[in-house]
Every structure is written in structure tokens, then in C-alpha cells.
Structure 1
């Protein structure tokens, strides 16, 4: 069984749905593949970015089939929400969900326009990017003014999920991987800094980001730097432990 939704402004996208699984398997360029796979595929004159979500573990196999919206559907809906609030994200085109005869979700895809960009925030933090200080300061302003001030928390807010374009020294940021999004009307400095804990970079760069964010909020920048460092240390420590502890369990419970 197939369920899908196509953006009403892009009805031609529906043409790929009957051949989506075959097209994804046999064509395109893979730009990411770990648990999920992301491909750039040229279709009907458009450069599409299609994400195939990996097989869930046995618990999520049930949850995504009968209780909670699939990651593909949430990616589509959350992207529409971001655009509605003036937050840049690649144009969403639709999603597709494939179910077996028993009604269990076996595969899902999110489809968007591929967005050209100069680099990601991961590259800004990990390399000696020209104009790094200005980029980080502008990014801090973007996060507060566009995302946190409007009450949104991106729960997978890592550097590779932030695309950057250079417009003559004014940097434009576009957010991807939106299947996990939380709304919170009033986001405190503490919550905002906690939301940035996944960003990896040199201590001085992260300190600059934390300081800039706090100053925009009118808070103590020194406290923000210390708080941010603690959040990041705890996050990485907990992440490493979870990977070590849950890896064999996840392998056992993965749907075959």
C-alpha cells in the first residue's frame, strides 16, 4: 500500500511516485548514507533531493505504522511550517510511504528541491573558513531571530543540517533534516544554548557563538560560554555511552 502527499504548487512531482523506489535505487548521486540515504536525482528538468529513511527498529516499526507520523511525513509538514514562518529550508515537494500487506510501514521518502549552497556550518566550524567570525555572528542572530524567537527547537541541529550561502558578505542560512521539530512559545537562553549542543567546533568558535547568542538576548555572555561548554560536554559523553550501550540492542531489534 502506498500513501503520499504532493505540494499543490508542484503537481508534476506526482509523476515520480509510481517509480520512486526504482528511481531511487538505480539513479542519482548519493550525498549521504549512514542509516538513511540522501540522493540528488534529476527528474523532469528539476534537481531533486530525495531522502530514504532507513528501516526502523521493531518498536518504531509499530509506532510509525500506527501511532506516529513517519519521518518523511514530518519532514514535509515541518518544512512547510518553517516556510510559513519565514525560515529558509529547501522547497518541500512531497513524501511517500510504503506499507506491507499487514499495514506496517516498510519504507518512506521525503522529496524536496535540491538547494545549492556554498558550504555548511559544519565546514565553517571544522575548517579555516574565510570570514568565519562574521559567519558565526550572523548565524547566532539567525538562530535567535528566525528560529528560537518564533518558538522552534530543531532537535537535530547539527552543522551538516545548516546550509550557508554567501551573498557578498551577508550570509543566508537554510535548515534541513526537519523531521524532529519542537515548538516552545518562550525559549530561554539556557534552552537556546542547549539546542546548539550538537554543533562541533574549536572551543573559541563555540564560545563566540555562545557569546553572540547571549548578547543578542541581553544575557551574560560569560555565563553563556560556561553553560554551553557544559551542555556540549554532557551531550558528547552521553552520546558515546548510548552508542556503546544500545548498538548491540538495536542490531537485535532491527526489522529484517
Structure 2
């Protein structure tokens, strides 16, 4: 079994050794959340770490990841470092591990520092009585505009993938689940389509459209019409896919 280990340059040899022991014994450690990918929060040398074990890929993808494409763990690590250089929040990347055999790609792990937050964007879609709700949603929209201005197209820009921390009278935002991103200039349609997965509520789309219009100088109606259209299209596609899955089960 061939292994690849890549660490944050700040780590000392003792920490690396302790972390490696944890990764090797990951399956036997208690706890863990997730179905496809498993996340466990584990203390290593006094640091609270978020260790994500990616699901072993199918036969086709095991060949792809072995020879042609970077693994999800490697992309997560590299994208996290790139976000940090751009001044965009994400939990501090620590390391990634890959395990391969002659038959293909096996397990991989992405490790970052555990970041405690006050909420995720998902709470905003469920509870409209959250204190300072409007300001949080507008601050999130400005954060998304910053992503776009820096050429970051976060393809998994969905409710559970932005952590929110209150910082006195302002809010800080941190992206997680980073393995699907594109980098480069984004046209208007691509920018607005990036909001499509975030909510089913028209009232939220109205607020985000209004704030994005203020940030970008584009017309509010133009933004709202496209954002709502893309939101509806995503929801229709999502529910159509679920219906087909249910039919296939029977």
C-alpha cells in the first residue's frame, strides 16, 4: 500500500507522528458523523482537529484518482490554502493523507483545525427570528460577492457549507467542504447562479439580490429575476432526481 502524506509547513515532527497514528487508527476511534464521508473531531497534541475520511471511490473513480485527477483530500487542502491567501475564511488546513494500491485509489483524509461557530447558513433558512437576521444575510451576500470578485466559484455553495461566527457587531464567514471549486473570472450569470442552492425562500432571495445589487452596481430586478429563476430550476431538478431515485428503488 502506497501512502502520501502532506502537512502544513508549521507542524513539528512530533505532531506529524501523533497525527499519523490517529489517521491509521481512524476506523477504530469512537464517534463520527456522515454517511458517505465520515468526520471525527479528535484532539491531537492539544489541538482540536476535524478529520474527514472520504468514501473509498468506486472502481472507475479509483483509477481516475490514482492516475488522472487530484483526490478530494488533496483538492480540499490546496483550495483551503488558496482561500487563506485570498483572505477568505476557512478552517486552518493541517494535512491530507492518501492511500493507494496497485489496483487503484483507496482511502483519503483531509485534516483541518476544528472551528466552533455560532451558526451555519442553514439556520438562516429555518429560523427567521434569529437576532440581527437581515444584517447577517446581507453580510453573507457581501462575503459571496468577495468570493466572486476574487474569482472563487464555490460549486458547493449550499446551506451547510458556510460557518458563521459573530465578531462584536460584525460577522465572519468560513467555507467548508472545499473539494469542488473553480478559480478564474466569473461572468454575471455564473455569479448569480452560484446562489441557486442556498434557499427555497423568495424573501431570502429578495434580500440577497438587493445586497448584491448594492455591491455590484447591477440592476436589482435583473439580479432577482435571474437568482429566483436559477433557484427554482435547481429545486425542480433536485426534486425530479429524488422522484426518479424513489422509482428506481421499487
TM-score by length of 1: 0.89
> Relative to 1, partners in 2 of residues 1:20 and 1:126: Cα closer, same or farther, differing over 3 Å?
same
The answer (yes or no) to whether the contact 1:73–1:95 under 8 Å persists in 2 is yes
Deviation at 1:246?
Answer: 6.8
TM-superposed deviation, 1:18: 3.8
| Range with bigger deviation, 130-139 or 49-58 | 49-58
C-alpha contact (below 8 Å) 2:18/2:45 kept by paired residues = no
Q: Bigger shift: 4-13 or 170-179?
A: 4-13
SS of 1:13's equivalent?
A: helix
Name 1:203's counterpart in structure 2: 202
1:21 pairs with 21, 24, 27, which one? 24
Change (3 A) 1:13 1:210: farther
- Deviation above 3 Å: which 4+ runs of structure 1? 240-249
Structure 2 gap segments, 5+ residues each: none
Are the structure 2 counterparts of residues 164 and 62 from structure 1 closer, same or farther at C-alpha, using a change threshold of 3 Å?
A: same
> Which residue number corresponds to residue 42 of structure 2?
41
Alignment of 1:76-225 (within 5 A): 76-100=77-101, 102-128=102-128, 129-145=130-146, 147-185=147-185, 187-225=186-224
Structure 2 contact 57–105 (Cα < 8 Å) conserved: no
- In structure 2, distance between residues paired with 1:201 and 1:244: 18
Q: Distance in 2 between matches of 1:13 and 1:136?
A: 39
Q: Secondary structure at the match of 1:98?
A: strand
1:27 is displaced (CA, Å) by 2.7
Alignment-derived partner of residue 58 in structure 2: 57
Q: Are the counterparts in 1 of residues 77 and 110 from structure 2 also a CA contact under 8 Å?
A: yes
CA gap of 1:28–1:78, structure 2 versus 1, over 3 A, is: farther
TM-score, normalised on structure 2?
Answer: 0.91
Once the 2 structures are TM-superposed, how far is the Cα of residue 242 of structure 1 from its aligned partner?
3.8
Q: Secondary structure at the match of 1:33?
A: coil
Gaps of 5+ in 1: 252-256
Q: State the structure with bigger RCO (CA 8 A, min sep 6), 1 or 2.
A: 1
- Given that 2:200 and 2:231 are in contact with CA atoms closer than 8 Å, whether structure 1 keeps it comes out as no
Once residues 197 and 10 of structure 1 are traced to their aligned partners in structure 2, the CA distance between those partners, rounded to angstroms, is 39
SS in 2 for 1:106: strand
For the 8 Å contact 2:200–2:235, the answer to whether it is kept is: no
